[in-house]
Structures are given as structure tokens and as C-alpha cells.
């Protein structure tokens, strides 16, 4: 069912692309990522949707990062999240860009093992990541290659964790590695 909603969101997003371009959206990306690479508690691919917006003048002092919004949908019924933050791009060549981003994410996964149900506790310990905090930091690195003025393909790695800063205790976090396809508006 979650895959249905993800595909529906993608179709609506693409259908509204001209309205998004007018709102300051510079780029829309769709991707697929290997989920939970570090612990393998929640295997299975994630579908990612991401919008990057034009950098506002107020961020020039910080080397003009682009604000982003991202959604990641589990195809296996595991943890999903929404993230927002800033992304910095560096042109390495005419067609190759590197990107680093930092932000916050919120998720619908599990925080800790419940004390009241031993059977469920065993299942969760073996099959779900225990994240310790509803809000996590999100850091990512990526590289994108321009196929033409609008279309780009890329790879990305991202990490979600509370880093013992936003909470204490459990902090399994997530590492993900993926491929993405991007479309840049108005170029």
C-alpha cells in the first residue's frame, strides 16, 4: 500500500512540475536506495523523492546552499521519513557536480524496544532499526552527471542519526546508498 502512495505522489509531483518551477523549485529528483546498509535490520529498497529550491539571497554568506525537501518511502513497510535542509553543490567539470547536504528528518519508525511485550521485543530487535529519537540529523554526499541541460543521473549516500545530541540511548541510525534521476527546470 505504501508503494501505491509513493507512486501516486510521484505522478502528482510530475504533473505539477510547471507550478513547482514557478515556486522556485530548481530540480526534482526520484531515486532508489539500498536501505539500512550498516545494520541490515530493515533490508529492502527505499523510493526517494526530492525537490531542491533556488538559494535565497539571505544564504549567500553560506556559499548559497539550496534548500531541499525529501521523502523516502519503504517498499517493505519499514521506516519512512521526510527531511529538509540545505544542499551545497560544486561543479567539478562542465557535466559533473558534487553535492553535500545537511538537515533534519522525521520518521515513522521505532524508537526503542517495548517493555510490555517480550514476543514483540524479540521481533523488533531482529527486524527493525531502533532509532531513539523521532527527529534525526540527515547528512548526505552525492555526485550527479548532466546528460543534457535538464536531465541528470547520480549516486548518493546518506546517513540518518540523532548522534546522541537530539536524544540519548538507542541510536542505530540508517546508512543508505542509491541512484537518482534529476530534472532541472528552466535551464
Task: Pick out the chain residues at pLDDT < 70.
Answer: 1-23, 39-40, 169, 187
> In the Cβ-directed half-sphere of 52, how many Cα atoms lie within 13 Å?
21
> In the Cβ-directed half-sphere of 182, how many Cα atoms lie within 13 Å?
29
Whole-number pLDDT of residue 15: 45
CA distance 54 to 58: 11
Helix (H, G, I), strand (E, B) or coil at 10: helix
Domain boundaries, the chain: 2-184
CB atoms within 10 A of CB 58: 7
Whole-number pLDDT of residue 1: 42
- The grid coordinates listed for 57 are 539571497
What class has domain 2-184? mainly beta
Query: Cβ-count burial of 120 within 10 angstroms (0-12 exposed, 13-18 middle, 19+ buried)?
Result: exposed
- The grid coordinates listed for 116 are 510490555
Phi/psi at 136 (nearest 5 deg)? Answer: -130, 155
Amino acid at each position: 500500500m505504501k508503494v501505491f502512495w509513493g507512486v501516486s505522489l510521484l505522478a502528482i509531483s510530475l504533473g505539477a512540475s510547471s507550478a513547482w518551477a514557478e515556486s522556485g523549485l530548481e530540480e526534482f529528483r526520484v531515486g532508489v536506495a539500498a536501505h539500512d546498509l550498516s545494520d541490515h535490520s530493515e533490508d529492502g529498497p527505499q523510493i526517494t523523492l526530492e525537490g531542491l529550491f533556488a538559494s535565497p539571497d539571505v544564504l549567500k554568506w553560506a556559499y548559497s546552499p539550496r534548500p531541499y525537501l525529501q521523502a523516502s518511502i519503504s517498499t517493505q513497510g519499514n521506516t519512512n521519513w521526510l527531511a529538509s535542509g540545505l544542499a551545497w553543490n560544486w561543479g567539478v567539470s562542465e557535466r559533473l557536480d558534487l553535492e553535500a547536504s545537511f538537515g533534519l528528518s522525521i520518521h515513522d519508525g521505532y524508537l526503542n524496544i517495548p517493555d510490555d511485550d517480550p514476543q514483540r521485543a524479540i521481533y523488533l530487535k531482529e527486524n527493525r532499526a531502533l532509532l531513539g529519537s523521532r527527529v534525526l540529523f540527515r547528512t548526505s554526499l552525492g555526485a550527479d552527471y548532466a546528460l543534457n541541460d535538464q536531465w541528470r543521473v547520480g549516486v548518493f549516500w546518506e546517513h540518518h542519526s540523532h548522534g546522541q545530541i537530539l536524544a540519548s540511548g538507542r541510536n542505530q541510525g540508517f546508512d543508505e546508498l542509491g541512484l537518482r534521476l534529476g530534472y532541472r527546470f528552466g535551464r
